[in-house]
Amino acid sequence: MAKKHNYSAGPCILPQEVFQQASEAVLNFNGLDLSLLEISHRSKDFVEVMEEARALVRELMELPENYDVLFLQGGASLGFLTAAYNYLPKNGKAAYIETGTWSTKAIKEAKHVGEVEVLASSKEENHTYIPTGYEVPGDAAYLHITSNNTIFGTQYHSFPKADNLICDMSSDIFSRKVNVEDFSMIYAGAQKNMGPAGTVVYIFDKERLGKTGNSIPAYLDLEVHLKKDSMFNTPPVFAVYVSMLTLRWLKGIGGVGAIEKINNAKAEMMYNAIDENPLFTGHARKDSRSAMNATFRLTDDSLAGEFDKMWKDAGINGLKGHRSVGGYRASMYNALPIESVKVLTEVMDEFARVKA
């Protein structure tokens, strides 16, 4: 089978060895002659999976003792509401920065819990940049940000300072080193750098929980899940298992610091190809560009049909941009090899040569 260069924005590319191990587990897990999909989630074999997945997050993110880890369901979309219930007190106010589609949805969900103040937004320029220059109000219970914006291709290169900083890190978690102690909570859907769709990881300072006075529905209460060791209800066993395998792979190649260097090299190659080619232009401002999602378009849209044929013929998949931006989006998550970026940039160079 010909190799595909998979630029899908999510669900996205994962390491080939992870696919192989996961497929074997579906047929016969741990030599039990049973599938991973049919064993009890309370069995010793799966409990060990859950505990290893949580331990790998702790190790790779270098978590202090007061931070804990949960693997839950609902994705980051449920995380929007979970964050507000657990950190926004009765009659309190939360501050948000609007940088794209997912932060807009987070704002909408938080309003179900309490007052929300949007401190800054890049909406008026179709989210081409990360806003700066705002002040976090002293009466804000927390500041919420989205670290990377998959649709618009922007990313925080440094994080704002806040007493309680909460971050949706769905599309760049484990892609670069961060100081976890700068955050009260990080949450992230698995389907970018960590695993398949179906689970979300929560990383949080457990000492900051239980202080809102809210009556929290059980499934949205992080303290409930913590007391049950991420097993309050039947967990998404396959998604957690594949996430564990992916985190093992990441540890095996040297961890977050090692993959960060690779990701920076991929991003540099991709953005050089955009900037040096007269047929293409980037969407995001250079000071806000994402290392995960490079968004760009043709300077002449009438050439789209010819360019599309060239990249598809080269075995490239998932390059079309989101309808909010148009053009193209090269999603360069952890498992995308730099060789795939080279194939795309060579197609772009060849297209310019042919059209010159």
Catalytic residues: 102, 168, 192
Q: How buried is 352 (Cβ within 10 angstroms: 0-12 exposed, 13-18 middle, 19+ buried)?
A: middle
**Cα gap 168→190, rounded to integer Å:** 12
What are the C-alpha distances in Å from 331 to residues 80, 149, 197, 263, 296?
23, 11, 16, 11, 11
Strands of the chain (E only): list them.
Answer: 5-6, 67-72, 93-98, 115-121, 140-146, 148-149, 154-155, 165-168, 185-189, 200-205, 280-282, 293-298, 316-317, 328-331
Q: Which helix or strand (DSSP H or E) is residue 245 part of?
A: helix 237-252
By the 8 A CB rule, do 136 and 162 touch? Answer: yes
In the sheet that 67-72 helps form, which strands lie side by side, from edge to edge? 67-72, 200-205, 185-189, 165-168, 140-146, 93-98, 115-121
Residue for token digits 């806000």?
288
Give 316's strand partners: 5
By the 8 A CB rule, do 149 and 100 touch? Answer: yes
**Cα gap 227→248, rounded to integer Å:** 26
**Cα gap 120→154, rounded to integer Å:** 15
Q: Which of 170, 179, 187, 174 is nearest to 83 (CA)?
A: 187
**Cα gap 133→314, rounded to integer Å:** 44
| Token code pair at residue 299 | 């300077």
